[in-house]
Copies of this chain bind each other. A is one copy, B any other.
Amino acid sequence: MKLTIKDIAKLAGVSTATVSMVVNNKDERISASTREKVLDIVDKYNYIPNRIASSMVTKSTKTIGLVIPDITNPFFPEVARGVEDKANIDGYTVIFCNSDNVLSKEDAYIDMLQEKMVDGIIFTASSRRTNISASLQRVTVPVITVDRVIPNLSNQGQIVVDNEVGAYEAVCHMLAKGYKRIFHITGPLTSKTARDRYNGYLKALESNNQQPLPNHLYEGMYTTTWGHNAIEQLIEDGHDFDGVFCGNDMIAVGVLKGLQKHGLSVPTDIGVVGYDDVNIARLVTPELTTVSQPKYEMGYKAAEMLIKMINNEHNNQSEYTLSTELIIRNSTRT
């Protein structure tokens, strides 16, 4: 039988107000003896306050929603962990939702979260989301978008990463190591993220006085399979190349496999650089040189910013830019 505050009040011979005050440490005005009496009963009967009921009156659920494409994608566990850690520190709880980058699923989740009265939402939207939807329009709580921006959404904070600089540095590194004919294999250029990386690549070539090669761009998916296919294609196309800069690590791993299959040695013949620095990057052979994104920090900062917005300690339209770090391993020459 679950005990309520009323039961405890009766057992302790006080009012529910008193019990409420002592269990919430709002007990400046409560005498020490009463406090102890109440606490004894609470302990003895294992009283568990019903936060649903408190939420009704306080209008705060201490819950935030996290909408990501897919926790199974190695990029997201760390982000999620960052979110959860910061949330937990501040007494928040995280509801997590996998949208598979499907707009209708995203919207359904947004509605669900609103119904559950979350205090705020952290959202990595599909790159196909070109404008605000009805569900998003209904959102009244603060939203932090991470790595993606939702056009026309108010009450939005943003966590972004400087992808252009990250890509720029990576490609400069390749050029510095003597790779001269570098191709770019990437995911869909519909996302700003992908375009920024591509631009960084182009700028690096430019500032090293190189013309981009003809047909230097292979656009596909963010998967190992695509990486593998793309490099096969590239070889088949008869291109003369000695480097490939990849849109993410999964692609790079596929590229590594493809090159290996064709007996091309990395890093001696060909240099390969990935993006993200997922755990796999350190485990493949050769270990992958890659641009590390601060995944955990992205999640952590997102939660931090969101909580500040929830508490009105933060202006409503703000942006936080994190930077990347080039991790040099063994898929590029030393």
Task: Tell me the complex Cα distance, A283–B254, Å.
Answer: 8
Interface residues of A in 14-73 (CB under 8 A from B): 46, 48-53, 55-56, 61, 63, 70-72
Interface residues of A in 84-111 (CB under 8 A from B): 84-85, 88, 93-98, 111
- The answer to whether B72 and A93 touch across the interface, beta carbons within 8 angstroms, is no
A2-B140, A81-B72 known; A116 and B52 CB under 8 Å? yes
Task: Tell me the complex Cα distance, A72–B257, Å.
Answer: 25
Residue total for A at the interface (Cβ-Cβ under 8 A): 49
- The answer to whether B52 and A61 touch across the interface, beta carbons within 8 angstroms, is yes
Residues of B within 8 A of A253 (CB): 283
- The answer to whether A77 and B81 touch across the interface, beta carbons within 8 angstroms, is no
A115 on the interface (CB 8 Å rule)?
Answer: yes
Copies in the complex: 2
A138 on the interface (CB 8 Å rule)?
Answer: yes
Task: Tell me the complex Cα distance, A73–B95, Å.
Answer: 19
- The answer to whether B284 and A48 touch across the interface, beta carbons within 8 angstroms, is no
| Distance (whole angstroms) from the CB of A44 to the closest CB of chain B | 12
Residues of B within 8 A of A63 (CB): 95, 116
Give me the interface of A with B, judged by CB distance under 8 Å.
Answer: 2, 46, 48-53, 55-56, 61, 63, 70-72, 74, 76-78, 80-81, 84-85, 88, 93-98, 111-112, 114-117, 134, 137-138, 140, 224, 253, 257, 260, 279-280, 283-285
Contacts A/B (CB < 8 Å), 17 sampled: A49-B115, A51-B116, A52-B55, A52-B61, A53-B56, A63-B116, A71-B80, A72-B78, A74-B74, A76-B77, A84-B98, A88-B97, A93-B112, A94-B95, A253-B283, A283-B284, A284-B285
